[in-house]
Structure 1
Amino acid sequence: MRHDTATLLILLAVIALLGWLAPGFVLIVFAGCLLAVALRAAGVPLARYFGMAPHWGVMIVALISGIIIGLLVWVGFATIADQARQFVRAAPQVLQGIANMLEGLPGGDWLQHQTSPEALQPSAEQAANVALRSFWGTLGALGNLVLVLLLGIYIGADPTLYRRGALALVAPGMRPRGEATLNAMAHALRGWLLGQMFAMVVTGTLTFLGLWVLGVPLAGFLSILTAIFGFIPYIGPVIGALPAMLIAASEDPSLVPWVAGLFLVIQNIEGNVLTPMVQKQSSDVPPALLLGAQALFGTGLGFLGVLLAAPVAAAGLAAIRVAYVEGWVEDPADADQKRLIRPF
C-alpha cells in the first residue's frame, strides 16, 4: 500500500512540475490527445464497418479530413480573406462612429482621441515591429499546429502503446484503476468534443442565417468567427458577438439591438437546448467550475489556456470521479460493478 501511494505521489509531483515549468508543452500534448480522441471517434467505427484494423480507419479519417479542410481553405480563402480585410478597414470607422455617439459623455473625449486618424495611423517602426511579431507568432503557431497534428495521428493510431507506457509509471496494484481512469477521461473528452462540434455547426449556421436576414455585411465571415469562438463555452459566443455588433453599428446603428437579440437567442438555444441534449450521456462540467477553469487557465496560459480549459476540466472531473471518489472514497469493488467503461 505504501509502495502504491509513493508511486502515485511521485507521478503527481512530476505532472505538477511539468505544468509549472512547461505549461505550454503540457497543453500541446493535451491538444494532441484531444485530436486523437476525435480521430478514433470517427476512425474506429469506419474500420469496424469495412473490417480493417483500427489504425487504418484513423489514418483514412485523418487523410479525408485534411483533404476536406484543404479544399475549403483553397475555395473559401479568397472570400474569407477579402471579408477579413473589409472588417479590418471598417474597424477604425466603426470605433470613430461610436466615439462620436459618446461625445460629451464620460470617457467619450478620450475614446474620440484614441480613434482619431492620427492615433490609429502607426509609425513605420511600429508597423515593422507588429509585422515581425506577427511573423514569429504565426510561425510558432504553425509549428505547434503541426506538432498537435502529429501527436493526434500517432496517439490515435495506437493508443494502447501510450496507455501501457503511462500505466507502467504506477505500481502494479494501481494499474486497473489507472486504466479505468484513462478510459473515463477519453470518454468524457469524446462526449464533450462531439457535443461542442455539433453545437458549433448549428451556431454558425443560425448566425449566418440571422445576419443575412438582417442585412449585416460580412455575414459569412462573422458566422465562421462565431462558430470558431463557440469552441469556448459561455465566453466564446460573447466574444463572437462583439465584431458583429461593431459591423452592424457601421452599417446602421439601429441594427445593433437586433444583432444583440439574435446572439442572445442563439446563445440560449446552444447553451440550454443543444449542448445538454447532445452531452447528456457524458460528464458535463458545472458552469461555475468551467468559468473558474477558464479564468485560471486564461490568466497564466493566455488564449490557448482559455481554448482548452473546458476539455481539461471535463477530463479532470472524470479522473477525479474515477480515481478518487470511486477508487478511494467509495468501495472500489462496488464502483466497478456499477460502471463499465469500454477501452479507448
Structure 2
Amino acid sequence: MQGTGARPLLVAGIGTVAFVAALALAWHAADTLLLIFAGILFGVFLDGLARALRRVVPLGHGASLAAISLVLAGLVLGGVAFGGATLVREADTVSRTLRNQAVSVRDWLKEKGVDTRAFRFGDEGKGGASESGAGGNLPSPGALLSDAGSVLGQATAIAVQVFGAVGNVFVILALGLFAAADPRAYRDGLLHFVPPQRRARAGAIMDELGETLRHWLFGQLVIMAAIFVCVWLGLTLLGLDGALVLGLQAGLFCFVPTIGALVAGLVIVLAGLAQGWTGALGGLAVYLVVQALESYVLTPFIQKRALDIPPATIFAGQILLGVLFGLWGLALALPLMAVAKVLLDRLYVEDGLGERMPARRS
C-alpha cells in the first residue's frame, strides 16, 4: 500500500525535475534552438513551394523540391550577377549618407545641451592623427606594432563574425533542405514519443502547425515584396539616392513588424536629410503611406487566418523575446507566437478546459 501510494509522487517528482532540466537546457541553448527553428521555417517554405508546384505539374515530392531548389538558386545567383554591383554602389552611398547625417544630428543635439558622449560614429580621433602628422613626428616602432596588433585584432573579429554568419546560413539551408526532403518522416518520428491513444490528436495538431507556418510565411513574403516595390518606386519618383537599397531594407525589416518598421523609417528619413528637409519629409511621407497600406490592407487581408493575434500582444511578445533572446528572438517572434497560439488553443483551451475553438480556414 505504501509503495503504491508513493509511486505517483515519485513519477511527479521525476517529471518535475525533467521539466526543470529541459527549461534550463533550453535557456542555455536558446540561440541554437532558435537557429534550428529558423531552419525548420526554411524547410516549411521549401515544402510549401514544392506542394504548390505539384498542384500544377505532376511531379513527385523529390523532383518538385529539386526543381524549386534549382530555381531559387538560379534567382539568387542571377540577382547577384545582374544587380550586385548596383546594390553595392548604392549601399556604400547610403552608408556614407547615414553616417554623415547621424553625425550632424549628434552635433545638433550637442549644441542643444544633450549629452551625446554615448553616440560615437568612429569620427573621433581623426584630429589627433592629423595633428600628429602635421607636426612631422614619426611614430615609434612600439606604436607601429600596437597599430598592427589593433588592425589584426579587428580583422580577426570581423573574420569570426563573417564565418559565424556564413555558418548560420549554412545550418539554416541544410536543415531546411533535410526537413523539406522528407517532412513526414520527421513528423512520424516525433509521434512515436506520444502515447498511442493520443497520436491522432497530436498528428492533427502538428499538421495544423505546419499549415499555420506556411500561411504566415508566404503571406509575410508577399507583404515584404509589396513594401520593397512600393518604397523603391516612391523614393525613385522623389529622386532620393539609394532608392533600391532603401526599399530593400524596408522590405527586409518588415519581417519584424512594428520595431522593424520604425528602424526602416528612421533609415529613410536620415538618408533623405542629405537632400534637405524636403527629401526627409518626402521619404517619410512615402514610408507612412506604404505602412498604412501594409497595416490596414495587406496584413489584415493576407495574415488574418494565419496569425489572429491583437497588435498589442504581438508588440509585447516581440519586446519580451527580444530582451530574453536578443536579435534571434526579435526576428522569430511572430512565428514563435503563431506556434504558441496553436498549442494553447488546442492543448490548453480545448483539451484542458474543454472549450471548443473555431476551426481555422484552410
Q: Normalized against structure 2, the TM-score is what?
A: 0.83
1:54 to 43, 56, 61: 61
Name the SS of the counterpart of 2:111 in structure 1.
coil
1:181-200 alignment to 2 at 5 Å? 181-200=205-224
Q: Which moved more, 1:30-39 or 1:14-23?
A: 14-23
1:69 to 72, 76, 100: 76
In structure 1, the residue matched to 2:287 is 263
1:260-285 residue CA offsets vs partner (Å, 9 max, x unmatched): 22212211110111011012232323
CA separation of 1:45 and 1:11: change in aligned 2, threshold 3 A: farther
Name the SS of the counterpart of 1:253 in structure 2.
helix
Aligned residues: 334
1:125-204 alignment to 2 at 5 Å? 128-204=152-228
1:118 aligns with 2:124: yes
In structure 1, the residue matched to 2:350 is 326
Q: Which moved more, 1:9-18 or 1:144-153?
A: 9-18
RMSD over aligned Cα atoms: 2.9
Partners of 2:208 and 2:288 lie apart in 1 by: 34
1:110-137 residue CA offsets vs partner (Å, 9 max, x unmatched): 4799568435789776554443322211
Structure 1 letter corresponding to 2:96: R
Partners of 1:167 and 1:10 lie apart in 2 by: 23
Structure 1 letter corresponding to 2:124: E
- Aligned-pair identity (%): 27
Gaps of 5+ in 2: 1-7, 130-146
2:89 to 82, 93, 102: 82
In structure 2, the residue matched to 1:231 is 255
Partners of 2:309 and 2:119 lie apart in 1 by: 44
1:284 aligns with 2:308: yes
Q: Normalized against structure 1, the TM-score is what?
A: 0.87
Query: Is the CA contact (8 Å cut-off) linking 1:196 and 1:231 kept in structure 2?
Result: yes
Query: Is the CA contact (8 Å cut-off) linking 2:305 and 2:360 kept in structure 1?
Result: no
Query: Is the CA contact (8 Å cut-off) linking 1:99 and 1:111 kept in structure 2?
Result: no
Query: Is the CA contact (8 Å cut-off) linking 1:96 and 1:112 kept in structure 2?
Result: no
Partners of 2:56 and 2:289 lie apart in 1 by: 40
1:35 aligns with 2:42: yes
Q: Which moved more, 1:121-130 or 1:17-26?
A: 121-130
Structure 1 letter corresponding to 2:85: A
Query: Is the CA contact (8 Å cut-off) linking 1:99 and 1:115 kept in structure 2?
Result: no
CA separation of 1:11 and 1:103: change in aligned 2, threshold 3 A: closer
Q: Which moved more, 1:145-154 or 1:57-66?
A: 57-66
Partners of 2:17 and 2:119 lie apart in 1 by: 57
Q: Which moved more, 1:261-270 or 1:121-130?
A: 121-130
1:231-276 residue CA offsets vs partner (Å, 9 max, x unmatched): 1111111111122111111222332222222212211110111011
User: How far 1:293 moved relative to its partner?
Assistant: 2.0
Partners of 1:124 and 1:243 lie apart in 2 by: 34
Q: Radius of gyration: which is bigger?
A: 2
CA separation of 1:127 and 1:215: change in aligned 2, threshold 3 A: farther
Gaps of 5+ in 1: none
